[in-house]
Amino acid sequence: MTNKFVKILLRFTTTDEPICRNLIDQFTQKLKMSAKFWEEHLFYQINNVIQLPDSIELQLKCQILNSEKIDYLLRKPLENVTGNKYSICFNIVQKLQINIDISLFREVTLENITTTFNQYFVSLLASQLELKFPFVFSKLARSRLKAQEDDLSPLSQCIIGSAALLPNLLMTMQRDTTATIVYQLLAGGGKANFINFHFA
């Protein structure tokens, strides 16, 4: 996460170029209005929505982690780790590309495509992204990190007298599968009121 923004690139291909351009125009406007999802669900601020001829790039600024916090929580403590520091591994996302291939057999509305995309994105979020990148795409993992980040260094100091334990504490938080949509749905009897599933 050395980049200033997490970028999500939506690349569109379709059998009908004029309809594709129209969809990109309309979808760009919908994404510009998706701030509530990103701010309330994942603690990102939309920095920019860039419309390109065949794609849309969404630039998100993290409201929890920045370069200084990553240095403080990870890089500097790893310098003091004795033993196998390579066993501590964090997945970092700088850019996510989603390819949207629309085969048009009839006229479709933006509402149809938006509904389908929301279902697809939530499925991708629940089945892949928040498991592989919890500090990027998991609401609960990010909420826990935000709530506990100030307590991690004192905890490490109390346990071993230095900040060297910070990466291990973060790894433990990252591996917690109770911070996933799937777990919350199963534990909540199929209800997940903690998330607004409308991305676009």
Taking only the tens place, the pLDDT of each residue in 70-99 is 777 777 777 766 665 556 666 678 889 988
Evaluate if residue 195 carries a pLDDT over 60: no
Tell me the three state secondary structure of residue 139: helix
Contact between residue 93 and residue 5 where contact means Cβ atoms under 8 Å apart? no
**Confidence band, pLDDT 50/70/90 cuts, at residue 186:** confident
Phi, psi angles (nearest 5°) of residue 25: -60, -50
pTM: 0.78
What is the pLDDT averaged over residues 9-23? 83
- Specify the higher pLDDT residue, 110 or 123: 123
pLDDT recorded at residue 67: 77
- Res. 172 pLDDT band, cuts 50 70 90: confident
Confidence of residue 56 (pLDDT cuts 50, 70, 90): very high
For the CA atoms of 166, 169, 171, 174, the dihedral, rounded to the nearest 10 degrees, stands at -120
Average per-residue pLDDT in the chain?
81
* pLDDT interval class at 2 (50, 70, 90): very low
pLDDT of residue 192: 58
Of 39-43, 116-120, 134-138, 185-189, where does mean pLDDT reach its minimum?
185-189
Distance (Å, rounded) from C-alpha 55 to C-alpha 73?
35
pLDDT of 102 strictly over 50: yes
**In 68-190, at which residue ranges do the beta strands (DSSP E only) sit?**
95-102
Token couple for 148: 């506990």
Task: Report how far residue 150's alpha carbon sits from residue 166's, in angstroms, rounded to the nearest whole number.
Answer: 11
Residue 46 has pLDDT above 90, yes or no: yes
